[in-house]
Amino acid sequence: MKSQWNKENRFTGWTDVPLCQEGIDSAKETAEKLACFEIDKVYTSPLRRNKETVSLILNELNKKNLPVAADKALNERNYGKLQGLNKEEVKKQFGEKQVRLWRRSWDAAPPEGESLKDVYRRTTPFFRKHIEADLKKGKNVLVVASHNSLRAIVKYIEKITENDIINLEIPYAGLLEYEFDDKLKTYEHK
């Protein structure tokens, strides 16, 4: 969902900012899309924008009592010295190509920040330990997180190469559905 800083075209990263009105509206629209799904547990990051999204979705679905686990392993990428800066101004300073590498590539990290590889190293062990454990128990899990933590998880699930990950874009309020067999192999992706 779109945060206030997303709306202002600023690098958000670990800065704890609220959703903007568009993000609030999108969360409610996403809840409508999720109404036909059985959800047993929700995973999110402790960042305010993600917790607000979960709360809005669960309120809309009238499922306020679902278990929700928040862990910083699902936080957005840390943009380091870029956090809070306007993306267009950063592009003018460093060049569009460099900023794209910092934002989308596998191993290029912004100054004092994280690369997607770093994000993958913290999200994947969490996914394996907690989310896969619930999936093995037959639970339906909803993961609400930020763009790059989701990109890292999708890379793991879909086995996307380090070179191809730069092309993966998940839109604001994007909804991805995965179905797994009993060995946790993906057999359907929507």
pLDDT digits (tens, 9 = 90+) for 63-100: 999 999 999 999 999 999 999 999 999 999 999 999 99
DSSP alpha helix (H) spans, the chain: 4-7, 21-34, 48-61, 87-94, 96-104, 116-126, 132-136, 147-158
Percent of the chain at pLDDT > 90 equals: 87
Residue 171: per-residue pLDDT = 86
Name the 3-class secondary structure at 42: strand
Owning domain of residue 14? 4-189
Average pLDDT value for residue range 32-54: 96
Element (H, E) at 128: none
What the block records as the tokens of 159 is 């086995």
Structurally, the chain folds into a number of domains equal to 1
Mean pLDDT across the chain, nearest whole number? 94
Provide CB contacts within 8 A for 125, sequence distance 6+: 73
Output the pTM of the full model. 0.93
Rg (CA), the chain: 16
Q: Are 174 and 148 in contact (CB under 8 A)?
A: no
Q: Which CATH number is 17's domain given?
A: 3.40.50.1240
